[in-house]
A and B are shown apart, each in its own frame.
Chain A
Amino acid sequence: SQKIEQNSEALNIQEGKTATLTCNYTNYSPAYLQWYRQDPGRGPVFLLLIRENEKEKRKERLKVTFDTTLKQSLFHITASQPADSATYLCALARDDKIIFGKGTRLHILP
């Protein structure tokens, strides 16, 4: 069955460093991969999308890579700030369906 795994449930990073989150998937060939941010008790908020024919995408301090051979995406936040603390969700899209990973809780320590 289709499976999405995000590298860890929680990740602690010192403020100012780069946070790197991993998303691996199996038994799936997504056309798109998206990253969302979710704060406690709130709905997911879209951050970035990368297509299957793209290797890398950037937006301000965010960078996403997509390796369809490894079936993996990496999500980087550079110059991390305490306000970046949240749960980050990887999501795969094909047809009219989006499947979410369980998320990684990121804590940026001041």
Chain B
Amino acid sequence: EPEVTQTPSHQVTQMGQEVILRCVPISNHLYFYWYRQILGQKVEFLVSFYNNEISEKSEIFDDQFSVERPDGSNFTLKIRSTKLEDSAMYFCASSVLAGGLGETQYFGPGTRLLVL
């Protein structure tokens, strides 16, 4: 069964460094998402992406964050200058249609980011 994959599974970085988290969505999906989950807290929406542009973003997704689909398969989340509070599990998800249409989102296994 097709699945969303994410790399790396774990990333440790120093505060102020840039990190890029990578995702390979399911191949025939058109909508892509990033979520984060701080340890012990709820899954929080960051951004949705469709047709090579951001379709919606949350207040968490400030200028330090950016997303890109550099080729036909990868979907990346970049954090320009990491802060301690960026430490969290980051999940990528994809769906055939828009999540707001009730379409099932398929989540990757996550990247655990630790900022020191």
Q: Which residues of A contact B (CB under 8 A)?
A: 31-32, 34, 38, 41-46, 49, 51, 89, 93-103
Contacts and interface: CB of A to CB of B under 8 A. Distances in A.
A95 B109 contact: no
Chain A, interface SS category: strand
Nearest to B93: A43
A96 B42 contact: no
Nearest to B9: A41
Interface centre among B33, B58, B98, B105, by most chain A C-beta atoms within 10 angstroms, is B105
Contact of B41 (A41, A93, A102): A102
B102 A44 contact: no
Interface of B: 4, 31, 33, 35, 41-45, 48, 50, 55-56, 58, 89, 91, 93, 98-102, 104-110
Nearest to A46: B104
Nearest to B35: A100
A97 B107 contact: no
A93 B100 contact: yes
26 contacts: A31-B102, A32-B100, A32-B101, A32-B102, A34-B102, A38-B43, A41-B110, A43-B93, A43-B109, A44-B107, A46-B104, A49-B104, A89-B43, A93-B100, A93-B102, A96-B31, A96-B56, A96-B99, A97-B45, A97-B100, A98-B33, A98-B99, A100-B43, A100-B44, A101-B42, A102-B41
Given A43-B91, A44-B91, A97 B48 contact: yes
Given A49-B102, A96-B56, A42 B110 contact: yes
Contacts of B33: 98
Nearest to A4: B42
